[in-house]
Structure 1
Amino acid sequence: MQVEYKFMKEIPQNPAQGVLYISIQYKVAVHLCACGCKNKVVTRLSPKDWKLIFDGQSITLYPSIGNWNFTCQSHYWIRNNEFLWIKEEKPRKKKKKFFSLFSKKNLSNN
């Protein structure tokens, strides 16, 4: 699925499906979830969060977008103006493993 990109000063209240809105001023990229569930996905742009690559013709966000807090739990890349789906056989198991990294037991070992 193709992704259109728009550089804007401010992000619109009602984003359109398939459009990645980018505000350099506010260091954020926003789009509606690629699965079509209409949830708004907000990615902060910073060295510790997501990186935006713009080559003059195409947009890439790094790392992947994992919508674990949405019912759809979609997981995909935005690379070269395309949504690229990551097929996961057991997303709930992967989510559980990820959040277990932040358990009291694991945090106390550091």
Structure 2
Amino acid sequence: MYLIKIVHRLPADLEDHVVYVSREYEVAALKCACGCGHRVNLLLDDGHKVEEQDGRAHIWPSIGVWDAPCRSHFWIQNGEVLWAEQWSEGRIRAAMEAQALRHKGDIRTPIPWYKKLWTALMKFYHWG
């Protein structure tokens, strides 16, 4: 079962079955669910969402570990790993290229006002 641990900065060494979340830096990290030990870093402002339900992790959309030999693809829901379908090399390449373009700023997806408001309220009231 994956649990959430809120941290200021992500640690160098990760424990098994722990999702480390730095809300300040909008990043999260965990070890790959397959057990290979590969470190998976998630940029929370790049589409991944991490929530805590009774201490258990919930992450969406799915996590594709395309930079590791295992090529794992999974979701974490209510602390449990749910395996997703394997992607083709073409689909992986297209997704990685789209992500690289987003990071370069070539594709800008505006954040809706209600999401900005929700984020501000979450930070103000220290929810989540």
Unpaired runs of at least 5, structure 2? 98-128
Specify the alignment match of 1:97 in structure 2: 91
Whole-angstrom CA distance in 2 between matches of 1:42 and 1:100: 19
Q: Which aligned pairs between 1:19-58 and structure 2 lie closer than 5 A?
A: 19-46=18-45, 48-55=46-53, 57-58=55-56
Whole-angstrom CA distance in 2 between matches of 1:7 and 1:84: 23
Change in CA separation of 1:4 and 1:97 when aligned onto 2, cut-off 3 Å: closer
Specify the alignment match of 1:78 in structure 2: 76
Specify the alignment match of 2:116 in structure 1: none
Change in CA separation of 1:5 and 1:57 when aligned onto 2, cut-off 3 Å: closer
State the Cα RMSD in Å.
1.9
- Does the aligned pair in 1 maintain the 2:32–2:39 contact within 8 Å? yes
Whole-angstrom CA distance in 1 between matches of 2:94 and 2:83: 25
Unpaired runs of at least 5, structure 1? 103-110
TM-score, normalised to structure 1, is 0.75
TM-score, normalised to structure 2, is 0.66
CA shift at 1:95, angstroms?
2.6
Instruction: Return the structure number with greater helix share.
Output: 2
Whole-angstrom CA distance in 1 between matches of 2:18 and 2:36: 14
- Does the aligned pair in 2 maintain the 1:17–1:32 contact within 8 Å? yes
Choose 56-65 or 37-46, whichever is displaced more. Answer: 56-65
Where has structure 1 moved over 6 Å in runs of 4 or more? none
Aligned length: 96
CA shift at 1:29, angstroms?
0.8
Whole-angstrom CA distance in 2 between matches of 1:51 and 1:3: 15
